[in-house]
Structure 1
Amino acid sequence: MKLYSTNNTNHQVSFKEAVFNSMPQDKGLYMPVAIPRLDDHFLNNLDSYTLPEIAFHVAKNLLADAIPENDLKDIIADAINFYAPIVELEENVYVLELFHGPSLAFKDFGARFMSRVMSYFLKDGEKTLDVLVATSGDTGGAVALGFLGVPGTRVTILYPKGKVSGIQELQLTTNGQNVRAIEVDGTFDDCQALVKQAFTDAELNKEFRLTSANSINIARLIPQTFYYFNAYAQLLKEGKSKVVFSVPSGNFGNLGAGVLAWKMGLPVEHFIAATNANDTVPEFLRSGVYEPKPSVQTISNAMDVGNPSNWVRIQDMFRDDPEQLPEMITGYSYTDAETSEAIEKIYSSYHYIVCPHTAIAWQALKDWQQDQPTGKIAGVFLSTAHPCKFPDVLPKHISREIVIPAQVKELEGRQRQAASLANDFESFKRYLLNNK
């Protein structure tokens, strides 16, 4: 498998190099030189495969000879060992539950797969792999658990001070071992900028072997395609063959993975990019003008991204036909008040509890369906996190109905440990150099 930089298609590297380097020095993002189309027999019979079997088939075709098949099977069996069911709420409205992994968020798919791939490629005696990750909420917890105890790795998680939920912060800051956390006096975009700058800093790259666990890393994006194929497989069992996906979107890795699955042949009719007040992409889809803006804090904190990194990947996948992009993707954005109203509507309509990100995806799906001619297209909105992570956002009469998973109860007795830094690259660089 070869990958190129979105800023220079002539700059090509192996999958292993892309995994460890995360981001090219030209500040582009890595994309596959060739995106294979899966065979029709597999696509038409997805309902006869399990999630691990689907994951293996997709990864095998995309990665080509980067990892031997038996080793790839072992990696997937270890990483993708939880389920992702679709639940029908009403006719042609399904929720894809992606919160059944250890950190209770969809990012377990990417973080667990990536950590196992990196561990596979690491050789005994090699320099420690320093994994830098910025999080707006769920990424940090998934990465922390994905890499916890992995030999030869050290994880540094940056998160915005006061802008993650209490449970999310416990997941970031109570692990110890090879995982450490830094609260930054700024936004997620600030945290992400510090990580990106570290990758292009000559002194840090000389001193450390740096890589990223954010969705800028292609090894995070690839496994997220698995659950799109698996959702469609479940729809086939329901007699549905047409689907639109509504995706709650922050840094746009989730939607990017969906588009990648579509490019591989998954028969998706349409994608919906659902955002909160950080509406850079919906505004672009409406106006044709892409204007990143400072992120604003919302109750759907994991989506508080004003300059989403992965949008360049999505645009790159439409480079041969840019006009197809707004035909394939529709954007919607919602205020906090509208998000809270959607949480209430979902609970009263279905007696189903969702996190604020999931509520936004549901509202976007319903709004899109209202604008469409009546048809038989199944709408699937992605539920990206367990609602127990957001008790302060949900109304009390709803939050008290949540069944708290055992792993959350276990967190409550742990001691929080985090360094505090200003939003300043020199401070971050000094921290890394002083804590080798």
Structure 2
Amino acid sequence: MNAPLRYVSTRGASPAASLGEAIAAGLAPDGGLYVPESLPRLDPAAFDPHGTLADTAATLLAPFFAGDTLAGDLPAICAEALDFATPLRPLASPPGAHVLELFHGPTAAFKDVGARFLAACLRRLPRRDPRPLTILVATSGDTGAAVAAAFHRQPGVRVVILYPDGRVSPRQAHQLGCFGDNVRALRVAGRFDDCQRMVKAALNDAAVQAAVPLSSANSISLGRLLPQMSYYAHATLQWRRVHGGPLNLIVPTGNLGNALAALWVRELGLPIGEVQLACNANATLPDYFAGDAYRPREAVATLANAMDVGAPSNFERLRWTFPDEHALRQRLHAHSVADADIRQVVARHAREHGELLCPHTATAMHRLERLCVGGDTAAWTVVATAHPAKFESVVEPLAGHPVPVPAALAAMLARPASADPLAASDEALHAWLLARSAAAA
């Protein structure tokens, strides 16, 4: 029997919480992000070599759920949330390279994994407050649709999505506004970082929380981050059985949640090798890993819009995991990729190899190509975070032909969609939430 884990804030000024309490709250009371008091260690031999992704997740997360009210439900939560494949397959080029496809969920992005898991957890957590729980989510493109799909028509839950108006792809915007019922989309006159700041401010506002019970479904939520470790654990155990040795990863990243999940799997003792981060022109992380002081800045718009983040929230968790700054910079590298390079990679792989890449995956592919040019001969796996059909306005002109649309995405695009305008201020969101609460009373 694993000893119960407690969860603490990255800022150290909040009392320890149970896993269920940390998931329900989203953000710690002091504004920090919840982390386990310590990361457990796992034996790769404990995993079923023939198990599904859900089986791997249940074994992986058991120490994190130990002693919690959700512990007995963990296998059912995993089976409910992780019922689609995350295949690891070889790439046409370069030789030995692979791609980990994380976009086979209902909204065609890796965010489906965390959103569905979080929804399954919250459905099972008892609530003393009889009023509906409002899930606030800031999205740079993909998170919002995944959260909306996961919580759509769930009793006792409302979802409010904030996205930067004009800074997501047309199909992403349509997805965000197509659900209706208990889901509302707000198109914010600002950047993703504004949306993220507004959500955090609301979660930390006692007056708003008293009037409108709130939680979060961004990657600040532990319930989003923990399940994202499962596909890396599943892939690296599969890799070792077939190829031997660790799995080396190139992860496209903006808010750092997906990359941190891979790093935590390595810290747990599973055979993840080197991890490199591929970023777009938003250079907060590449500048830091190049030796500069950590300096959040306003995000700039790029083709890889879901990574348009200038102040990545999970940097706090990264520094908690690796408190020695020098050692962190030795173990992790981040690289910026310009829009022109994204276009070239998408066009070349479509033309020469018949591979269709979304702009985010193209940043990772560009990094792989640079490594090969530099003489690196290691076997690398590129992480594919979204289906290229979500970015048809970018991909189709470069590929020279239409991108097939997955059935679930096509069904969403066939629905009507709408979103309410909102100013990019904390006060505007507070007023909107309070007005909606009063209207629903």
- Structure 1 counterpart SS, 2:8: strand
Please tell me the residue identity of whatever aligns with 2:77: I
Q: 8 Å contact 1:242–1:378 — kept in the other structure?
A: no
- Structure 1 counterpart SS, 2:275: strand
Please tell me the residue identity of whatever aligns with 1:357: H
Q: CA deviation at 1:240?
A: 3.5
The residue aligned with 1:231 is: 235
The residue aligned with 2:346 is: 343
Encode CA deviations 1:346-385: one digit per residue, 9 max, x unaligned.
22342110100000011112323444654xx421111000
- Indicate yes or no: 2:189 matched with 1:188: no
- Indicate yes or no: 2:237 matched with 1:200: no
The residue aligned with 1:167 is: 171
Identity %: 38
Relative to structure 1, the CA distance from residue 399 to residue 116 in structure 2 (aligned partners, 3 Å threshold; closer, same or farther) is farther
Please tell me the residue identity of whatever aligns with 2:118: M
The residue aligned with 2:109 is: 105
- Structure 2 counterpart SS, 1:332: strand
The residue aligned with 1:432 is: 433
Q: TM-score, normalised by structure 1?
A: 0.95
- Structure 1 counterpart SS, 2:329: helix
Please tell me the residue identity of whatever aligns with 1:265: G
Aligned with residue 59 of structure 2, among 57, 60, 64: 57
Distance 2:63 2:278 in 1: 30
Distance 2:411 2:13 in 1: 47
Relative to structure 1, the CA distance from residue 407 to residue 270 in structure 2 (aligned partners, 3 Å threshold; closer, same or farther) is same
The residue aligned with 1:334 is: 337
Relative to structure 1, the CA distance from residue 125 to residue 22 in structure 2 (aligned partners, 3 Å threshold; closer, same or farther) is closer
The residue aligned with 2:369 is: 366
The residue aligned with 1:128 is: 132
The residue aligned with 1:402 is: 403
**Gaps spanning 5+ residues in structure 2: where?**
none
Encode CA deviations 1:1-47: one digit per residue, 9 max, x unaligned.
311111117631111111111112222111001211112423xx664
- Structure 2 counterpart SS, 1:8: coil
Q: 8 Å contact 1:46–1:230 — kept in the other structure?
A: no
Encode CA deviations 1:320-354: one digit per residue, 9 max, x unaligned.
x4332112211110110011111122223421101
Q: TM-score, normalised by structure 2?
A: 0.94
Q: 8 Å contact 2:70–2:124 — kept in the other structure?
A: no
What count of residue pairs does the alignment treat as equivalent? 431
Encode CA deviations 1:379-410: one digit per residue, 9 max, x unaligned.
11110000000011124362634221122222
Please tell me the residue identity of whatever aligns with 1:411: M
Please tell me the residue identity of whatever aligns with 2:410: K
Aligned with residue 355 of structure 1, among 352, 355, 358: 358
**Gaps spanning 5+ residues in structure 1: where?**
none
Please tell me the residue identity of whatever aligns with 2:350: Y
Q: 8 Å contact 1:46–1:233 — kept in the other structure?
A: no
Distance 1:136 1:204 in 2: 24
- Structure 1 counterpart SS, 2:394: coil
The residue aligned with 2:156 is: 152
Q: Residues 263-412 of structure 1: matches in 2 within 5 Å?
A: 263-319=267-323, 321-371=324-374, 373-374=376-377, 377-396=378-397, 398=399, 400-412=401-413
